[in-house]
Amino acid sequence: MKNFKILTLILALFGSGMAHAQLVPAEGQEIIDDLLFIADGFATPAAESAAYQATASWFTSAKALEPWKVDVSLHANALFVPSSKKEFTINNNDFSNLTISGGSNGAVVPTAFGSDSDVMFNGNFLGQEFAFQAIEGIDTGALMYPFAQVSVGLPLGFQLGVRALPALEVSGSEFSTYGIGLKHNLSQYFGRRRTRDDDLEVAAIVAYDIFDVKYEFEQISVPNLLNLNLIDVSSGVWMAEVMASKKYENFEIFGALGVAQSDFEYEFGGSGLALDLVNSEISRLNDSQAQFKGDIGFNLYFNSFKVSTMATAGKYVNLNVGLHFLL
C-alpha cells in the first residue's frame, strides 16, 4: 500500500499540470506550505536589506563630472543588521503538518542574518516520519563586501555610472550585484550661472540594481518528496533620490533623500520529485516593497583622487567608503 501511494505521488507530479498544487497529496501540500512559511521568515530580512546595499554610494556629489571625465572607484560596503532582523518567532499554530520537537508550542529561529539553532521540526509524509533542524543564518551583525564602479561625465550636466560585483563568497553565502545609475545636475537651471566650486549643488539621481544572494544550509530532507539545501534571493531595485552638496576647499559634504522600490524573487536549490513544484509555489512569496531612505556623507579631495564616505539610514544602516581615481 505504501509503494502504491508513492507511485500515485510520482504520477501526480509528472502527469499533466505537475506544477499545480491540487495534484499533490494533501500531506505533501501541507509540508510545502509549512516550508514556505519558514522560508518567508528566514529570507525576508535579506530581501529588505537589498534596498540599502544595492543603492549605496551611487554618487557622492551633486556636481556632475565634466564631459568625458572618468571616476574609477573601489568601495567597501558594510550593512549593519539590527538584532530584531536576526530572528523570528514561530508557533505550532503556524503549521499544518510540521511540529516543533520537544513538546514546545513555540520557538525563536534564525533569519538569514541570525546564528545557528538547536530547534528541530518533525513531520510525517506517507506514513514516514522525518525531522530537520531550523535553517542556520550567516551569524553576522555587519555584512561587509567590496564592489567596483566606473562613472563618466556627459554633456548637459549628466553623469552615467555602472557597478559590478561578480559572485563572491561572503560569510558562507554567495553575493553578486550589477547596476547602472544616472545623475543630472539641477543647479544649472537655478537662474544664474554657477561658476564657483563651492556653490551649493543639487542633482536628481535614478539607478537600477540587480542584487542576488544565495544562502546554503544543512539539507532538509522529506523522504519520497524533496531535498532542499539552498535558497536564492534575487532583487531588482529601482532608486530615485534628490541630492545636495556643498564644497569647502578640499572638503565636501552631501545629503540625499530618496525611495527604493525592490522586487523580490525566491528560489530553492536541491533535488527531488517536488522541487519544481516547490519553486512554483514559492512564487507566492515574491513581493514588491518601497522603502524611504536618507544618505549623508562627505568627500575629501586630493590631487587626482578623492575619498568618500556615505551613511544610509532606514530599516537598516549601511556604511560605504570609496576610493575614487579621477581621470
Please tell me the predicted confidence (pLDDT) of residue 324: 96
List, in order, residues 6 or more apart from 303 with CB less than 8 Å away. none
DSSP secondary structure string for all residues of 54-69: TTTTS-S-SSPPPTT-
Residue 264 has pLDDT above 80, yes or no: yes
Q: Who has greater pLDDT, 168 or 76?
A: 76
Q: How far apart are CA 305 and CA 286, in angstroms?
A: 42
Residue 179's pLDDT band (boundaries 50, 70, 90)? very high
Contact 201, 244 (CB under 8 A): yes
Compute the distance between CA of residue 52 and CA of residue 241 in angstroms, rounded to an integer.
13
Q: Which of 9-18, 51-60, 98-107, 242-251 has the highest mean pLDDT?
A: 242-251
Query: At 194, is the pLDDT very low, low, confident or very high (cuts 50, 70, 90)?
Result: low
Query: Average pLDDT for residues 190-197, to the nearest whole number?
Result: 61
Phi (first) and psi of residue 36, to 5 degrees: -65, -35
Give the three-class secondary structure for 191.
coil
- pLDDT tens, position by position, 304-323: 899 999 999 888 999 999 99
Is the confidence at residue 261, as pLDDT, over 50? Answer: yes
Q: Are 181 and 231 in contact (CB under 8 A)?
A: no
Model confidence, pTM: 0.83
In angstroms, the CA 309 to CA 180 distance is 20
- Dihedral in degrees, nearest 10, Cα atoms 135, 284, 288, 151: 70
Residue 93: CA count within 13 A, CB half-sphere: 2
Closest CA to 79 of 107, 43, 50, 116: 50
In three-state secondary structure terms, 177 is strand
Q: Are 228 and 267 in contact (CB under 8 A)?
A: no
pLDDT of the residue at 142: 86
- Beta-carbon contacts of 161 under 8 Å, excluding residues fewer than 6 positions away, are 58, 59, 71, 149, 150, 151, 152, 180, 181, 182, 183, 207
Residues in contact with 299: Cβ distance below 8 Å, sequence separation at least 6, in sequence order: 60, 61, 251, 252, 254, 306, 307, 308, 309
Structural domain boundaries, residue 228? 2-326
CB 279 within 8 A of CB 257: no
Where is pLDDT greater, at 71 or 17? 71
Higher pLDDT, 243 or 279: 243
Least confident range from 58-62, 223-227, 237-241: namely 223-227
pLDDT-based confidence at residue 52 (cuts at 50, 70, 90): confident
| pLDDT score recorded for residue 58 | 93
pLDDT: which is higher, 189 or 26: 189
pLDDT of 182 reads 97
Q: How many domains does the chain have?
A: 1
pLDDT at 172: 67
3-state secondary structure of 311: strand
pLDDT at 148 over 50: yes
- The DSSP code for 51 is H
Q: 249: domain CATH number?
A: 2.40.128
| pLDDT of 206 above 90 | yes
Opening angle at CA 172, ends 229 and 145, nearest 5: 135
Q: How many residues does the chain have?
A: 327
Work out the number of other CB atoms within 10 angstroms of the CB of residue 217: 22
